């Protein structure tokens, strides 16, 4: 298994659309993609299924999936390479450091899809939709930009609702405790992660929240 992981990392090193702990990226994403299309980020992208799905739905936007687990990311990176998807890329780094890769106002939209709920109180600082990370995202999210959360975990979701509603730079627009009972919700229902399909098959409701980043 370790040998396979090393092989995957080596393969990704040869993929132009995969950046592993790169330097000097803030303000350079338009040059990287070769256009000025809006930039959308998925944090904790796993295999990249959501990132790729979004890229196919919206060819006039650029999408970046970011995660630290390269073994999972390899699957999405390989698909992007094999299908020659020009508007999708992957950034391998710790989410705690994500603000070091983007300039102020450089990202127009952020998706958090089925993050680890980190249920123990001692792990609160690791919760991707929590206040600590909101303060990181708002360093590079453009005014008027959107922040999305999808999760099956009601405890994490309720925690996130409190954090987002209390944040002075976020305006919560939508809170849904059973997303698919509300019918077609555009991009929120158009793509499903592997986890999402599994939870829906078990009859577990999917929670969804959207907020707008207001002027500094």
| All domains in the chain, ordered by first residue | 1-47+58-101 (3.40.50.150), 104-216 (3.40.50.150)
Whether residue 185 is predicted with pLDDT greater than 80 in this model: the reply is yes
CB 157 within 8 A of CB 144: no
Measured in whole angstroms, how far is the alpha carbon of residue 215 from the centre of its chain? Answer: 22
pLDDT at position 71, please? 79
In sequence order, the β-bridge partners of residue 112 are 43, 149
pLDDT score of 1 more than 60: no
> Active-site residues: which are they?
116
Residue 70 pLDDT more than 60? Answer: yes
Torsion of Cα atoms, 157 then 163 then 165 then 166, to 10°? 160
Whether the pLDDT of residue 69 is over 90: the answer is no
Can you tell me the mean pLDDT for 161-181?
Answer: 96
Q: How confident is the model at residue 216 (pLDDT cuts 50, 70, 90)?
A: low
**Tokens 């990202």, located at residue:** 107
- pLDDT score for 24: 93
Confidence at 171, pLDDT banded by 50, 70, 90: very high
End-to-end CA distance of the chain: 47
Dihedrals phi, psi of 72, to nearest 5 degrees: -75, -45
Q: Is the pLDDT higher at 102 or at 11?
A: 102
Structure confidence at residue 5 (pLDDT): 73
Would you call 196 helix, strand, or coil by DSSP? Answer: helix
């Amino acid at each position: 298994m370790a040998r396979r992981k090393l092989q995957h990392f080596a393969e990704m090193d040869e993929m132009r659309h995969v950046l592993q702990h790169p330097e000097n990226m803030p303000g350079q994403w338009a040059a990287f993609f070769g256009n000025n299309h809006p930039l959308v980020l998925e944090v904790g992208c796993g295999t990249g299924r959501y990132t790729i799905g979004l890229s196919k739905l919206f060819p006039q936007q650029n999408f970046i999936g970011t995660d630290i687990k390269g073994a999972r990311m390899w699957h999405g990176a390989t698909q992007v390479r094999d299908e020659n998807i020009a508007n999708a890329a992957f950034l391998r780094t710790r989410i705690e450091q994500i603000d070091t890769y983007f300039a102020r106002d450089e990202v127009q939209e952020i998706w958090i899809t089925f993050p680890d709920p980190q249920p123990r109180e001692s792990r609160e600082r690791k919760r991707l939709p929590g206040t600590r990370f909101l303060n990181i995202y708002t360093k590079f999210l453009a005014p008027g930009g959107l922040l999305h959360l999808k999760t099956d975990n009601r405890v994490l979701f309720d925690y996130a609702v409190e954090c987002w509603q209390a944040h002075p730079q976020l305006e919560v627009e939508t809170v849904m405790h059973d997303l698919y009972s509300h019918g077609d919700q555009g991009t929120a229902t158009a793509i499903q992660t592997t986890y999402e399909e599994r939870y829906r098959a078990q009859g577990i409701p999917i929670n969804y929240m959207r907020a707008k980043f207001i002027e500094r």
